[in-house]
Amino acid sequence: MITLAVILLSFIALYFYNKRTFNYWKKKNVKHDKPVAFFGNNKEGFFIQKSKVQLNTEMYNKYSNERVVGFYRGTKPELIIRDPELVKRILVTDFGSFFYRGFLPNKDVIEPTLRHLFASEGDLWKMLRTRMSPVFTSGKLKVMFPLIVEHAENLQSRISKIASSEKSSDAKELMARYATDFIGACGFGLEADSINNENSYFRKLGYKIFAPGLVDAIIAVSKDMFPELCKNLKFFSRIEDEAKQLAQDIQKARNYQPVGRNDYVDMMLALKNQGTIKIESIEKTKSDGSPELVSIQFDDDIFMAQLILFFAAGFETSSSSSSMTLHLLAYHPDKQIKVQEDIDRVLAKYNNKLCYDAVKDMAYLEMAFKESMRIFPPLGYISRQCTKDYTFTDMNLTINKGVNVMIPIQALHMDPKYWDKPEEYRPERFQSDNEHKDVYLPFGNGPRNCVGTRLGLMQAMAGLAAVLSKFTVEPAPNSKLRPVIDPKSEVVQGIVGGLPLIFRERNKTRI
């Protein structure tokens, strides 16, 4: 009897503890759904019925007259931003109040695989961003481009065999294998050959990173709901040991020194060999307001984490957007013809050879690619965390330090207020680069935008040019114009069942 009473009292205490923050948005006069104990507004997320992107989009559409919408992720209040002007303030103008991404529920306990540029916070992020930006300059891209062409030609050869069989093939998987091979060659100096080898080690690693199971999804939700209780749980324990071993093998193969390839690994080795790196802090200031000088040790875990990020982000986001472009062109053959005419016209100027300048000249292909990322951005949302109390002065709204703000990219990209008939696939929307600059955010904006934007764009464009110069794509019998989004998706949007397409040889080849 006593035991039952203790259990009952514990449950009641936990119930009221979980409701302790549920007046936060009511007190601030921010519209929101009524939260439920334990789950807040995230019940469907907890039971893996809907992804963060889907939930953010629903709230965005439900409160169409609001500039911001309140949300409770478990007990934690979040703010969903609906107004492009506020988005720009958070990402650009007032970045100093929002430089944390908010991806890590507990900054004091950071698992090794997350000590990379995307997830890291504060001074570690600043050091990595400053040191890594030089590898993605236009000059470096031109040097890398022959490797892109080599793997684009391998992709052509693979699709040629598929086309001759007249069977459908998953465009997402094909583009992922192409991107994996390029990233392996250009980033690590390793030949993965996943385009031909179904059992490629690198492709299997990619599956492990971006194919979380039920346990992984539960861990992600649990860390959101109970950050203190679950702070020692790891998102990526399934790959940590393997990632560490891969990083050690790559370093050992180069004798722990840069070898003159000037690739990503060389740059990381140079940084690691510096040991302690000093920077002006973004988090700490002296009494006079000037930044403190802080020291950061570039250790083995940081080295490993950057390799995993470069590999994972390089193949997943690029393959997602390029395969979606093929998918949408298959359903819009008139647009596909215009893309192919653009590719043919440009290649004719360059002796029918794919090169850096040729890809830069393919204007309509780029428009088609950008339109695909509008309809289905790989990253469907951006998160930022308030680094200090912040006031939206024109709204008389103050949010506290530690509150996450969510920028629903997918919802902004499909809002008819900013896009005429947003459900339609119309590459012509992007004839002017500045027309939608504040509501088109596939690569983010501001100091924490995607550092590899240009590399990802060139890699995807070259792959698309290689495919569409030689093949026409059509929907497969089991294709769906609007694919089903995987509710287990955490950061990058996943698709259930892939993107099956039929590839047919064109009458006229170019490469």
Q: What is the pLDDT of residues 339-386, one digit of tens each?
A: 999 999 999 999 999 999 999 999 999 999 999 999 999 999 999 999
The answer to which of 208-212, 281-285, 300-304 has the lowest mean pLDDT is 208-212
**What strands lie across the sheet with 68-73, from one edge to the other?**
68-73, 76-81, 404-407, 382-385
Task: Choose between 109 and 406: higher pLDDT.
Answer: 406
Write out the two tokens for 436: 């939608």
Percent of the chain clearing pLDDT 90 (strictly above): 58
Could you tell me if 465 and 293 are in contact, meaning their C-beta atoms sit under 8 angstroms apart? no
**pLDDT recorded at residue 107:** 66
Cβ within 8 Å of residue 432, ≥6 positions away:
none
User: Helix-strand-coil percent breakdown of the chain, rounded to 5?
Assistant: 50, 10, 35
Q: What angle do CA 271, 274, 279 make, to 5 degrees?
A: 80
Fold of 21-505: Cytochrome p450 (1.10.630)
Packing angle, helices 264-274 and 171-188, rounded to 10: 50
- Ramachandran sector of residue 459 (left: φ over 0; alpha: ψ -120 to 50; beta: rest): alpha
Length of the chain: 511
pLDDT band for 82, please (50, 70, 90 cuts).
Answer: very high
Q: Which band of pLDDT confidence, cut at 50, 70 and 90, is reported for residue 492?
A: confident
Q: What is the mean pLDDT of residues 449-461?
A: 90
- Report residue 160's pLDDT band, with 50, 70 and 90 as the boundaries: very high
247, with CB counted inside 10 A (0-12, 13-18, 19+), is buried
Closest by alpha carbon to 457, among 318, 315, 324? 318
Predicted pLDDT of residue 352: 92
Long-range contacts of 397-403 (CB under 8 A, 24+ apart): 397/28, 397/29, 397/30, 397/68, 398/28, 399/28, 399/79, 403/77, 403/78, 403/79
The CA distance from 77 to 31, in Å, is 12
Please give the average per-residue pLDDT across 182-189, as a whole number. Answer: 81
Residue 13, pLDDT score = 58
CA distances from 386 to 52, 101, 335, 352 (A): 19, 9, 43, 51
Question: Which pLDDT value is given to residue 363?
Answer: 96
> Cβ contacts of residue 98 below 8 Å, gap of 6+?
90, 91, 384, 385, 386, 387, 390, 405
- Count other C-beta atoms under 10 Å from residue 152's C-beta: 25
Q: Is the pLDDT of residue 242 over 50?
A: yes
In this predicted structure, the answer to whether residue 412 has a pLDDT above a threshold of 80 is yes
pLDDT at 348: 97
pLDDT of residue 190: 78
pTM of the predicted structure, to 2 decimals: 0.91
Asked if 217 and 183 touch (Cβ cutoff 8 Å), the reply is no
Residue type, 361: D
Would you say residue 64 has pLDDT above 60?
yes
What is the number of helices (H) and of strands (E) in the chain?
Answer: 18, 11
Q: Is residue 386 annotated as involved in ligand binding?
A: no
| Spatial separation of the C-alpha atoms in residues 76 and 383, rounded to whole Å | 14
CA neighbor of 387 nearest in space, from 281, 240, 464: 281
Mean pLDDT of the chain: 88
Rg (CA), the chain: 24
The predicted pLDDT at position 85 comes to 96
pLDDT of residue 511: 47
Short-list 79, 202, 145, CA closest to 466? 145
Residue indicated by tokens 């950057």: 306
User: Could you tell me the pLDDT band of residue 17, with boundaries at 50, 70 and 90?
Assistant: low
d(C-alpha 493, C-alpha 170), whole Å: 17
